Structure 1
Amino acid sequence: MINEHNYTDKAPPSGGGGGSGRSYIKIGVAGPVGSGKTALIERLSRRMAGDYSLAVITNDIYTKEDAEFLTQNSLLAPERIIGVETGGCPHTAIREDASMNLEAVDEMAARIPDVQIIFIESGGDNLSATFSPDLADITIFVIDVAEGDKIPRKGGPGITRSDLLVINKIDLAPYVNADLKVMERDARLMRKGAPFVFTNLMSLEGLDTVIGWIQKYGLLEENAEPALWR
């Protein structure tokens, strides 16, 4: 994982990838099943597609359901979405053996030469999911309030090492007896200064903060600091 304070060793897309020979960044999006990974990418694509050239690679174990959802619901053309059927354990396809995803990235870059951001969504996995540094430049890990307010303190690499932690579905907190203040306290403790954000993707609450983080720490734009928790 890339620590956000080390982003200066990469150039933004217009700068040619910091000597890597590519003009795009790869953003890994991981998290448990149902936490809102696909919804986050769909909302991001709707808000960002007018200003950036976007593409998405999704991972499912035996289907291409997430890719089909994005094709139907996002603003992206079908050729900007590739579904990868990983089979077996989804974390393997983003970490130990990322070859299928790396091939999909190469295919997408050839297909969309001006692409600036490629989102790579992992298959639903547990709190230990992490991306190979060859596959993702920066990472977002999504959890949701419906899993209970104890989730942040359970730790795991997704919670502690992701570049941005998204705590989603905050609107459900009253219905599942989840205390957002407890989640905030535990996220601060586990992440030790690394950023996190609370979101309700139905109302778009927190989405602008995620976009601001991508712009400042992924694309290295000289924007104001987004309203992140730390």
Structure 2
Amino acid sequence: MAVRIGIGGPVGCGKTRLVERLLPIFQGEGVSVAVITNDLVTLEDSERVRRSGLIDPERVLGVESGACPHTAIREDPSVNIEAVEYLEARFAPDLIMIESGGDNLAATFSSELVDWWAFVIDVAAGDDIPRKRGLGVLRADLLIVNKIDLACHVDADLDRIRADVARARPDRPSLFTNLRDNDGVRGVFDEIARGTLFGRAA
């Protein structure tokens, strides 16, 4: 059975970019991967990953949730579970990344669906997000604060964000990334390796 990794966060925070940045690292470590993306009524994200050249397109499935994005990852994850079972039966991957459709700060993943999950926010959306303390910020196994390169362009106080994140998650890991330039992605992999007990040193 594959390890199931959830990646959630609001629209535009960098979830799909994170999937694309992680794929070469997993493959370099000998980890066989498949991907499931969730969107409301489109397959846009899955088509983007298929076109990336980073993974066999057959290993990427798109799910159209048809409702609030968190529904298919929390309230009724059956459509995602079916997609997981299909990929496991066909490819027997070591790991499946499940990207949520863009959602608000209350999004969480069902433990039925994933073994471990990360929540992505971005600096450009406002430096007050960690103070709002949504469930994603508080409960995710890893919080990723992305687009730190944009802080100076949107008048975001990065030091304050770091302090607010530390207060919101005193006992849970958080990472600050610039996924456009691949900055911090290796640290995300290391946290996944630790959190899902791959049996290799992170």
Aligned position for 1:87: 66
Written as runs of structure 1 = structure 2, the 5 A alignment for 1:194-209 is 194-209=172-187
Give the AA of the match of 2:147.
K
Aligned length in residues: 201
Aligned position for 1:73: 52
- CA separation in 2, counterparts of 1:39 and 1:124? 13
Identical columns (%): 52
1:112-160 deviations in Å (ceiling 9; x for gaps)? 12x0110000000000000110001000000000011111111111000
Mark the runs of 5 or more structure 1 residues left unpaired by the alignment: 1-21, 225-230
Give the TM-score normalised by the residue count of structure 1.
0.85
Q: Does 1:60 pair with 2:39? A: yes
- CA separation in 2, counterparts of 1:76 and 1:54? 8
Q: Does 1:138 pair with 2:116? A: yes
- CA separation in 1, counterparts of 2:109 and 2:81? 12
Written as runs of structure 1 = structure 2, the 5 A alignment for 1:1-230 is 22=1, 24-50=2-28, 51-113=30-92, 115-223=93-201
- CA separation in 2, counterparts of 1:118 and 1:219? 14
- Label 1:193 to 1:74 Cα distance change in 2 as closer, same or farther (>3 A): farther
Give the AA of the match of 1:148.
G
- CA separation in 1, counterparts of 2:53 and 2:63? 18
1:58-86 deviations in Å (ceiling 9; x for gaps)? 00000000000000115110111000011
Mark the runs of 5 or more structure 2 residues left unpaired by the alignment: none
Give the TM-score normalised by the residue count of structure 2.
0.96
CA RMSD of aligned residues (A): 1.1
Q: Is the 8 A contact 1:53 1:117 kept in 2?
A: yes
